[in-house]
Amino acid sequence: MIDDNFHQPSVLCSGETEYNKAGLLQGQAVDSSLSETGRQQAAAAGSYLRDVGFSNVFSSDMRRAQQTAEKIMQQNSSCLRLQMVCDPLLKEKSFGVAEGGRVEDLREMARAAGEPFPGFTPPGGETPDQVKLRVQQFMEKMLQQIGAEHWPAGGADVSSAEGGPDNGMGPLNAHALVVSHGAYMCVAVRYFVEELRCSAPAGCDRKRMFSLSPNAGICRFNLTVVRQGARYVVSGMRCVFIHRVGGAEQDE
Q: Which residues are annotated as a binding site for substrate?
A: 64
In the three-class reduction of DSSP (H, G, I as helix; E, B as strand; rest coil), residue 178 is classed as strand
The number of beta carbons lying within 10 Å of the beta carbon of residue 152 is 11
Cα–Cα distance measured from residue 40 to residue 72, given in angstroms and rounded to the nearest whole number: 11
Burial 156-179 (b: 16+ CB within 10 A, else e): eebeeeeeebbbbbeebbbbbbbb
DSSP state of 125: P
Longest alpha-carbon distance in the chain = 55
Binding residues: 64
